[in-house]
């Protein structure tokens, strides 16, 4: 084990040292194309090493720390150092690395940092600030398969500012429709828009959004649960009861939110089995 660690450490240092002289020349005589090629080469070599080590291992941390010390301006190293910490709920330790990456390359990492604050850290006010800053600098876009308006919308949901949540979620669905057509509006956009309307007691309109979400994901237990709440609120108790039973059946079969990061973090308003009497 010690020999392997020394070998990997030596390998990464050799890679970095071999590029040092050329990087110094690049700094003296700036060449965007050459600089990007060189940094990509360093990143590729480091990635080959760290990819072979366990995500949360001390060895991987040491290798990345060495790379960051040697080349503190390469954002990839900082992002890779931060990401495993967030997945271990060590957000406070990960944030300085993520901030550094966003400072060095805001166009690439500011929206990513905002996403991490929204979904991982539950720091909704800061997430909104970062997303709005990105929108002002670079315009709208996507991170982790969703629009910036989507994350701002669910952040406002979590802050109980439901009118603002509704407004931004409508912007998100509008962006998707304008870019790709109505059929490409994500089912989560529709569900959260329905939730915002539900919180505003716009139950009939909310049901329409839940139904649109269910057209894409017919066994989506979360959408059915919130649709049931709206049906009960409208006095449609039998339909509400039937919808709850469907939600229970679907949730017992693990038909809930299937975002990549739900294995690490529960998403806003994601229902729990305990709510429906399931273990």
Domain assignment present for residue 230? The answer is: yes
Question: What b/e string do you get for 229-242 counting C-beta neighbours within 10 Å, with b at 16 or more?
Answer: bbbbeeebeebbee
Q: Which pLDDT belongs to residue 171? A: 97
Token representation of residue 123? 């720091």
The answer to whether residue 24 is domain-embedded is no
- In whole angstroms, how far apart are CA 19 and each of 14, 37, 188? 9, 11, 45
With respect to residue 261, please indicate whether it lies within any of the assigned structural domains.
yes
**Does the residue 113 lie in any domain?**
no
pLDDT at residue number 39: 61
Domain count, the chain: 1
List the one residue out of 119, 49, 36 whose CA is nearest residue 75. Answer: 36
Q: Give the per-residue pLDDT at 55.
A: 85
- β strands within the chain, DSSP E: 142-143, 146-147
Please name the residues in contact with 141: beta carbons below 8 A apart, sequence gap of 6 or more.
111, 134, 147, 148
pLDDT string in tens for the chain (279-residue length): 444 444 444 444 444 434 443 343 333 333 444 345 566 677 777 878 878 888 888 989 998 998 899 888 889 899 999 999 999 999 999 999 999 999 999 999 999 999 999 999 999 999 999 999 999 999 999 999 999 999 999 999 999 999 999 999 999 999 999 998 888 899 999 999 999 999 999 999 999 999 999 999 999 999 999 999 999 999 999 999 999 999 999 999 999 999 999 999 999 999 999 988 887
Task: List the domain range (segments joined by +) for residue 205.
Answer: 186-279
Which CATH number is 198's domain given? 1.25.40.10
């Amino acid at each position: 084990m010690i020999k392997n660690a020394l070998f990997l450490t030596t390998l990464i240092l050799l890679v970095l040292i071999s590029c040092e002289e050329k990087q110094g020349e690049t700094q003296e005589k700036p060449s965007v194309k050459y600089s990007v090629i060189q940094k990509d080469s360093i990143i590729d070599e480091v990635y080959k090493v760290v990819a072979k080590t366990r995500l949360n291992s001390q060895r991987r941390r040491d290798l990345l720390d060495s790379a960051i010390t040697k080349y503190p301006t390469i954002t990839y190293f900082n992002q890779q150092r931060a990401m495993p910490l967030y997945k271990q709920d060590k957000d406070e330790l990960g944030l300085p690395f993520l901030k550094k990456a966003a400072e060095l390359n805001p166009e690439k990492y500011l929206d990513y940092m905002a996403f991490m604050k929204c979904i991982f850290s539950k720091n909704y006010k800061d997430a909104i600030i970062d997303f709005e800053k990105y929108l002002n600098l670079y315009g709208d876009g996507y991170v982790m398969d969703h629009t910036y308006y989507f994350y701002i919308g669910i952040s406002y949901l979590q802050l109980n500012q439901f009118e603002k949540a509704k407004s931004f979620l409508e912007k998100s669905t509008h962006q998707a429709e304008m870019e790709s057509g109505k059929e490409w509006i994500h089912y989560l956009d529709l569900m959260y828009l329905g939730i915002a309307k539900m919180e505003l007691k716009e139950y009939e309109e909310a049901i329409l959004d839940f139904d649109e979400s269910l057209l894409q994901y017919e066994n989506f237990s979360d959408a059915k649960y919130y649709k049931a709440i709206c049906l009960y609120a409208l006095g449609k108790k039998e339909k509400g009861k039937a919808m709850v039973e469907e939600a229970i059946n679907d949730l017992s079969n693990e038909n809930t939110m299937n975002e990549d990061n739900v294995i690490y973090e529960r998403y806003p308003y994601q229902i729990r089995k305990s709510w429906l009497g399931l273990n």
